[in-house]
Structure 1
Amino acid sequence: MTGVALLGAGIFAKTQHLPAIEAASDLNLLAVYSRSQSSAAALVSLIKDSSKKPQEYYDSPAGSNSLDALLARSDISAVIVSLPILAQPAVIRKALAAGKHVLSEKPIAPDVKGAQELIAYYDSLPAATRPIWSVAENFRFLPVLHDAADKIKAIGGRLVAFHLIMNGFVKEEDEFYNTEWRKVPGYQGGFLLDGGVHFLAGLRFLLAAAGDEVERVACFSSLLEKRLPPVDSVHAVAATRGGVNGTVSISFGTEFKATLEVCVVTTEGRVTWDPSKVVSVRRGQADEETKKFEQDFGVVAEVAAFGKSVAAGKADPLQSPQEALKDLALLEALLQSGPSGSVKTAV
């Protein structure tokens, strides 16, 4: 069993990562790290079994229980990094330099340039001793999304149209909103970067099933809810490498409308995905087929996949930094196009 540390004590670490680590048969949680002792202690307090309490590490107050001390432990082989977006790259580098396998939360970095530099650093490490670096994108582990991709492949045909529509509203009382680094983002896109990469990962996954990918976008962006700067909505036309046009619409500032779906249309049929079901129809089929799914955030499966990767010594391709970079590149292209509507390359 692999000794693992959870770096970060935010709401996602509490509600998703901690239960996922506890459920993973290949991982043994030995330590947690947060910037403050109080937040590290609060995370540890959620573990009821006193025999399984991990050790706490923190920056404040300064002392012997630092991040460097955690990374020096020989019994910890892997870390899961769930820190604020701007803090993650430096910690990822430090963990990799210490020889630890890393599962880092999306987005891979605040921007494409930073992501490319991080990947270049990883590639520069000696191949013989290079640890595994995986990037967590839980949408790639959703059973409902995999079912939609399988149906697209089964239906076949040539891609002719697609769309991604996501409308949501970040409320003031939302736990994710009530973190200072999200209220005053020091990175591009605000919630569009923090959450939008999920939906773009889903779109890319389904377009790949149809044998294509988005190459260019022309977008308009806006700020509908003033407390969600710098922009909270993007509406775009997207063109694939194969010359097919579709639309991408993502908004975190649209109240009274909650929508999330990706639709892929080929010359042989159509598949529409949302988090609870897959609706499909193919040539010669009289009625639509609907398959429903129970709610699943995919985090338990993605953490388990990381544990299996470490045990096998081989990274899961669904968690590759290159895939995460492509998610980010598409999001950044939308944000860069947004002010003017100019065409931007997305890959």
Structure 2
Amino acid sequence: MASLGIAIIGGGIFVKEQHIPAAITSPFLSIKAIWSRSRKTAEDASKLVSSDAAPSVDLYSADSGEGKSYEDLLKRSDIDGVIIALPILDQPSFIEKALAAGKHVLAEKPIAKDLETANKLIEYYKKVSAEKNVTLAIAENFRFQPGWAYGAEEIKKLGKVTGFVVRLHSMMEATNKYYLTPWRTTPQYQGGFLLDGGVHFTAALRKLLGAENAAESLVAETALVSSHLPPVDSINAIVKTKSGVVGSYITSVGTTMNAFEFHIACEQGVVKVESAKVVTARGVGKDAVEEEKVFERTSGVKEEVHAWAESILSGIPNPNQTPEQALADLELIEKMLSSGEQDGARQKLEYQGFI
């Protein structure tokens, strides 16, 4: 199968640690170029691309002068697609330009800073894709971690879902390498780190619950516990599903507690998912028998990048990477934040049917 020429757009931490190694690993991709705001950042990122995998990686940047802009890169006929990993506020405009130039796009999550911007981007994509025959995929690597899919299947075996509890507690230290990224230190978008990282967790919850238990409404309270994490760093939400089930979603990136737990209660048992480990308790009370499944740890990025390449070559979009999935992930976070801003007012959900 032929390989696709791609460009990496961005030269930050995640690009260097995840996207470039993933693209190199995929037999279907060949890195032709790297663009970043500064030439130095592009050069630093290019050092991670081996000469064997990409013998001629061209560098583009905002400060490289004539012929080396983002727009110049998009004119190249040997580049079929781009992987975009830029600050949240910048992503949509770069995505639109790439689509307009006839390039397939894999863009980092979240799809946009808010639902309004995301919906405008999706409408633009629908229009351009029909004209240019290009695709937009959103990179949600949690969907490519095997524990979530396995947990979802185990839940289906245990009958009707009767409740759920999600607890996600951590401290985003001011010394953390991601915190030190300037656009994250003083966020100009809703929720700060609760949005940036939170869409991973709403994606995971949605996967576990499935379409039959899609969230229908929620109420939430929000707070800023640690002053270095504005605008808010904590959410306590009660979520009601269309099946009538009520569950809790408790998360904070500004607490000294540590927790990473997804507990889904069913008529015939409980499934507990902790990233790479899934514990299924079959039965109720003293008769319950636990079965533990441990998966090899993976960020899921290599798998998602490879899946994106396969989807382009096959012409069949991967259902785990659709913009509509990313819109639903974003909606859960935005509605929790909106409820908190409105002193716990109930929020209706519109886009949760995409599982």
Answer yes or no: same fold by TM over 0.5. yes
Q: How does 1:266-345 map to 2 (within 5 A)?
A: 266-283=266-283, 286-339=288-341, 340-345=343-348
Q: How does 1:28-67 map to 2 (within 5 A)?
A: 28-49=30-51, 52-67=55-70
- How many residue pairs are counted as aligned between the two chains? 344
Q: How does 1:196-211 map to 2 (within 5 A)?
A: 196-208=198-210, 211=212
State the AA in 2 paired with 1:18.
Answer: I
State the AA in 2 paired with 1:110.
Answer: K
CA deviation after TM superposition for structure 1 residue 147, in Å: 1.2
What CA distance in whole angstroms lies between the structure 1 residues aligned with 2:266 and 2:169?
25
Alignment deviations for residues 281-324 of structure 1 (CA, whole Å, 9 cap, x no partner): 22386421111122111111000000101111121011000010
Equivalent residue, structure 1, for 2:349: 346
What CA distance in whole angstroms lies between the structure 2 residues aligned with 1:133 and 1:48?
27
Alignment check: 8 A CA contact 2:84 2:91 kept: yes
CA deviation after TM superposition for structure 1 residue 61, in Å: 4.0
Alignment check: 8 A CA contact 1:132 1:313 kept: no
What CA distance in whole angstroms lies between the structure 1 residues aligned with 2:55 and 2:152?
39
What CA distance in whole angstroms lies between the structure 1 residues aligned with 2:181 and 2:255?
21
What CA distance in whole angstroms lies between the structure 2 residues aligned with 1:19 and 1:12?
10
2:246 counterpart of 1:245:
yes
Runs of 4+ in structure 1 deviating by more than 4 angstroms, as ranges, are none
Equivalent residue, structure 1, for 2:263: 263
Equivalent residue, structure 2, for 1:136: 139
Equivalent residue, structure 1, for 2:25: 23
State the AA in 1 paired with 2:329.
Answer: D
Alignment check: 8 A CA contact 2:155 2:161 kept: no
CA deviation after TM superposition for structure 1 residue 125, in Å: 2.1
Q: 1:248 to 1:126 in 2, by over 3 A?
A: closer
Q: Name stretches of at least 5 consecutive residues in structure 2 with no aligned partner.
A: 351-355
What CA distance in whole angstroms lies between the structure 2 residues aligned with 1:288 and 1:275?
17
TM-score, normalised to structure 2, is 0.94
Equivalent residue, structure 2, for 1:220: 221
Equivalent residue, structure 2, for 1:97: 100
Alignment deviations for residues 75-107 of structure 1 (CA, whole Å, 9 cap, x no partner): 000000100000000000000000000001100
Alignment deviations for residues 1-46 of structure 1 (CA, whole Å, 9 cap, x no partner): 0001110111001101111101111110111110111111110122
Equivalent residue, structure 2, for 1:76: 79
Q: Name stretches of at least 5 consecutive residues in structure 1 with no aligned partner.
A: none
Alignment deviations for residues 227-249 of structure 1 (CA, whole Å, 9 cap, x no partner): 11101111111101111100001
Alignment check: 8 A CA contact 1:215 1:240 kept: yes
Q: How does 1:174-193 map to 2 (within 5 A)?
A: 174-193=176-195
Q: Give the 3-state SS of the residue equivalent to 1:308 in structure 2.
A: helix
Q: CA RMSD in A?
A: 1.4
What CA distance in whole angstroms lies between the structure 1 residues aligned with 2:74 and 2:177?
30
CA deviation after TM superposition for structure 1 residue 334, in Å: 0.4
Alignment deviations for residues 254-302 of structure 1 (CA, whole Å, 9 cap, x no partner): 12x2211111111122111011310112238642111112211111100
State the AA in 1 paired with 2:170.
Answer: G
Which range is displaced more, 258-267 or 34-43? 258-267
State the AA in 2 paired with 1:303.
Answer: V
What CA distance in whole angstroms lies between the structure 2 residues aligned with 1:61 and 1:225?
40
